[in-house]
Structure 1
Amino acid sequence: MNLMQEIGRLVAHAARPAEPGDPAPAGEVELGYEARYLRRRSLDLADGRSLLVDLPEPVSLRDGDRLVLAGGGQIAVRAAPEPLAEIAAEGARLARLAWHVGNRHTPAQVLEGRLRVQRDHVLEDMLARLGAAVVHVEAPFEPEGGAYGHGRTHGHSHSHDPHANPNAHIPHRHDPV
């Protein structure tokens, strides 16, 4: 037993997507988009316990992912609601708006007939001028990953080594469509 376990603190040294048949989690932590990119941090669980996350490399966590506890068990990660702008338009106009958002390297969540982005009055004004209906919402933010990674646009994966696994670049989907 290490010192952290002796003083009653939980420690996680690994992260992974949730899988069918996973046991019930030993706890939950709710984090916003920016807070779900982490390597080493102390977190407060929903039940008040403290968790030390000490991962070998930074990871981008999505809603439902699991932090694996050193002594066994898992902590479920939940995406916290946060202030977002929802951008709506029809057909080709929405595609054009998505192009402008992507051209600015802005993380965006793609939903049926609309996009969600973090609030930015300059971007929102530009999109409204291009014909978007813009409304403010409070919702979990789960933007698309980059072409070579998931969750963030800088190639992160859940500890996949492309040299060890030639298919590591093929993303897995663990969120409902």
Structure 2
Amino acid sequence: MTTLMLTARTYHDHAHGPEFAQVSLDYEGRFLRRKVLATDDGQQFLVDLPSTTSLDHGGVLLLEDGREIRIVAAPEELLEVTGDDMPRIAWHIGNRHTPCQIEAGRLLIQRDHVIRDMLGKIGATVREVVEPFKPEGGAYGHGRTHSHAH
């Protein structure tokens, strides 16, 4: 395998040039600072960002030579949540700071048996699915939120 080295200024939330390769990562895998990864076609490269960063689906890592590696949200095990009272269901998910992908008519969250049980108790319909996970970013443009500190 070829090893490619990335510069410290490696991530952009959108493409600037032609795609060289792509790397498919699940939600947790898209949160990193320094790690060796492999493109979908098997080429290894080092990600060395100045700080821990949430890489978004559709963003790019910029190689030292200017080539771009596109970030793709990999399919992962999720829960699809639907119901008659979606605002209430969404409030309960948000109140637990659970990453959530919001779509017309459904919500997608990571599989969690405790949250699944709670959702069933408030009348939600929950179904297991395997899909790419692209949850909403945090409030105020801060990406992922893991606490109340902004």
TM score, norm. by length of structure 1 = 0.77
SS of structure 2 residue aligned to 1:125: helix
**Residue 15 (structure 1) aligns with:** 11
Percent identity over the alignment?
A: 48
**Which structure 2 residue ranges, 5 or more long, are not aligned?**
none
Structure possessing the higher radius of gyration over alpha carbons? 1
CA distance 1:29–1:43, shift in 2 (3 Å): same
For residue 81 of structure 2, the aligned residue among 82, 87, 95 is 87
Between the two proteins, the alignment pairs up a number of residues equal to 145
Decide whether the 8 Å contact of 1:97 with 1:127 is kept in 2.
yes
Report what 1:105 is aligned to: 97
Contact 1:144 1:150 in 2 (8 A): no
Deviation at 1:150, TM superposition (A): 4.9
TM-score between the two structures when normalised by the length of structure 2: 0.90
Task: Give the deviation of 1:23 after TM superposition.
Answer: 2.8
Give distance in 2, aligned partners of 1:120 and 1:102: 14
* Residues 70 and 154 of structure 1: CA distance in aligned 2, closer, same or farther (over 3 Å): farther
Shift of 1:80: 0.2
State yes or no: 1:132 paired with 2:124. Answer: yes
Q: Mark the CA change 1:154 to 1:127 in structure 2 (over 3 Å): closer, same or farther.
A: closer
Matches of residues 48-87 of structure 1 in structure 2 within 5 Å? 48-87=42-81
C-alpha RMSD over aligned residues: 1.7
Question: What is aligned with 1:42?
Answer: 36
1:154 and 1:100 map into 2 onto residues whose CA distance is 16
Please, which moves more after superposition, 109-118 or 145-154? 145-154
Q: Secondary structure at the match of 1:29?
A: strand
Instruction: Give ranges in structure 1 of 5+ residues lacking alignment.
Output: 1-6, 156-177
Bigger proportion of residues as strand? 2
